[in-house]
Amino acid sequence: MALTSSRPNQVPLRTLGAVAFLLMAIWCFSTMDPESIVAFSQPAAESGFIDWDGGKLKMPDRFYGVEALDQAFRGAMASFAPSTLGYDSISSWQFFQFLVDMGPIYTIWFLESTRALNSWTPAYLPTIFALLGQVVGVGTVVPLFYFLCIAFGPSQTDLARAPRSQSRCQNKLPVVPLIILFHTSVVFAMFLAPDLSARHYWTWAWQLSPLWIGLGNAAAHQALALLGWKGSSSAKQMLGVMGLISAGVWAYTLLFSPHSLWALFVPQAGPQAGLVLHMRKALQADEIGVVIGIFLWMAHCFTELHAGGLIGNEWLFYILLCPIAAFFVGPGAAFVLGWYVRESILEAAGKP
């Protein structure tokens, strides 16, 4: 009873404290400037050809077999071309690392959706928010997603005090294999396939990857239920696979990229002329929105755990450790480590 009655008083204060997420989302959306992206990519979308110095590639007339989808994504395919086809080296290195990092982030979203306390809160709908991110940019959606989770979802104290059957991730589905199949492996093909036409094909295929992951997740759930499978996979072990992949790509970027970290990840100030330079800035802003969004959420979690008396003064150490770890192992792997620490605290404090 005490847990339930405390929620109405907590919600307005928690929402007010999460305004920084909304500010980050607004900054990211305005910096990406979708109107300019559409304007710069429109000539290629209308002609059906992607042109750059030294190359030309024809886009498929039909890909999904649905006219509305094929037409809607033609501009997006042109806008991603400088990165995926490699004629903007800076954007190619940055976007590849960025998309690989989305693998563990999506995994955490799906794992969080399996908590009983998250049912029918924003955290329960990872597929919807991931698809929205494909349209308007994940750097805009990630902060918005976490703002909504804080405003309408359970607090960390709620999770710690609830029975474990309600608070723990109840994952029995092959989330990681699905994400590797429909997202991570496709991202590798988008950037590393030796044939440029193949890269372009996989870029089209990747555009709806959150939908295939979500549908696969639902289908797997039904199939396992029909088979009467009672087994369970360790969320931590599964997530560790994604963290290792992200850390490996981050290490590869640090060792072999011909560009500095500043050039790769910090957008230029002011408007950028042309598709190549504008998309470089937009994708850099997109990644900044994601990275700040996930680490703000981790900071919020540790702050609530401290305020609820669940951890001591080490809460500040955990908050500071996240960006430090991001430098050494990359943002995606650092997020995995932060989530792991949070889960350990919740499990230690949780009821049987």
Tell which residue, 239, 207, 233, has the closest CA to residue 221: 233
Question: pLDDT tens digits, residue range 148-169?
Answer: 999 999 999 889 888 887 888 8
Q: Are 130 and 102 in contact (CB under 8 A)?
A: no
67, containing H or E segment: helix 67-84
Q: How many Å apart are CA 139 and CA 288, to the nearest integer?
A: 7
Q: Tell how strand 49-52 and strand 55-58 pair up.
A: antiparallel
| Identity of residue 31 | T
Residue with tokens 């989530």: 339
* Global confidence as pTM: 0.92
Angstrom CA distances, 42 to 50, 72, 249, stand at 11, 11, 32
**CB-based burial label for 56 (10 Å; 0-12, 13-18, 19+):** exposed
Q: How many Å apart are CA 111 and CA 172, to the nearest integer?
A: 10
Domain count, the chain: 1
Angstrom CA distances, 281 to 173, 188, 265, 274, stand at 37, 22, 9, 11
Tell which residue, 342, 238, 281, has the closest CA to residue 79: 281
Q: Which domain holds residue 74?
A: 2-349
Q: How many Å apart are CA 244 and CA 74, to the nearest integer?
A: 33
Rg over alpha carbons for the chain, rounded to the nearest Å, is: 21
Q: How many Å apart are CA 261 and CA 331, to the nearest integer?
A: 13
Angle at CA of residue 307, ends 340 and 146, nearest 5°: 55
Say how many C-beta atoms besides its own lie within 10 A of residue 261's C-beta. Answer: 12
Q: How many Å apart are CA 78 and CA 51, to the nearest integer?
A: 9
Two tokens, residue 47:
């002609």
**CB-based burial label for 70 (10 Å; 0-12, 13-18, 19+):** middle
Beta strands in the chain (DSSP E): 49-52, 55-58
In this structure, what DSSP letter does residue 117 have? Answer: G
Residue 202's contacts (CB-CB under 8 Å, 6 or more residues apart) are: 186, 189, 190, 193
How many CA atoms lie within 13 Å of 199's alpha carbon, on the beta-carbon side? 21
Tell which residue, 132, 134, 114, has the closest CA to residue 123: 114
Per-residue pLDDT of the chain (352 residues; tens, 9 = 90+): 333 434 444 556 777 778 999 999 999 999 999 999 999 999 999 999 999 998 899 999 899 988 888 888 999 999 999 999 999 999 999 999 999 999 999 999 999 998 999 999 999 999 999 999 999 999 999 999 999 999 999 999 889 888 887 888 876 667 888 999 999 999 999 999 999 999 999 999 999 999 999 999 888 878 877 877 665 556 567 788 999 999 999 999 999 999 999 999 999 988 898 999 999 999 999 999 999 999 999 999 999 999 989 999 999 999 999 999 999 999 999 999 999 999 999 988 865 5
**CB-based burial label for 153 (10 Å; 0-12, 13-18, 19+):** buried
Q: Are 117 and 167 in contact (CB under 8 A)?
A: yes
Q: Are 94 and 283 in contact (CB under 8 A)?
A: yes
